[in-house]
Structure 1
Amino acid sequence: MSEPAAPAEPDPRPLPPKEPELEDCCGTGCVMCVFDVYQIAQENYEAALAAWLARHPEAES
């Protein structure tokens, strides 16, 4: 019998998205460029982090 996995933290701090490198953009004017996708992910992360910090006021920002 295998041991049960350790329980995950119930409310982990959100992690920021990885910023794309300049060479990740193909430069053809895609409707959703990798930098557009990153900007959306960054905005979502900031909102999630603000909500998380509100739930965890003891945490450093």
Structure 2
Amino acid sequence: MTRATWRKSTRSSANGGDSVEVADNLPGVVLVRDTKDRDGGTLTFTPSVWRSFVGFAKTQH
């Protein structure tokens, strides 16, 4: 996980409130963490599950 390149989600709040970071540069895994609590834990997804989640989330706004 130390090679993860984190980026702020494009759907995160601009005021620093509700923000997540995503690392999708590692083979076979997508990592997600809370920007405000980077040491608080990481969610791990397969790339296909992450794509499904993002696709579903885009239809819910």
State the TM-score, normalizing by the size of structure 1: 0.31
Greater share of residues in helix: 1
Q: Which has the higher contact order (CA 8 A, sep 6+)?
A: 1
Q: Which has the larger radius of gyration?
A: 1
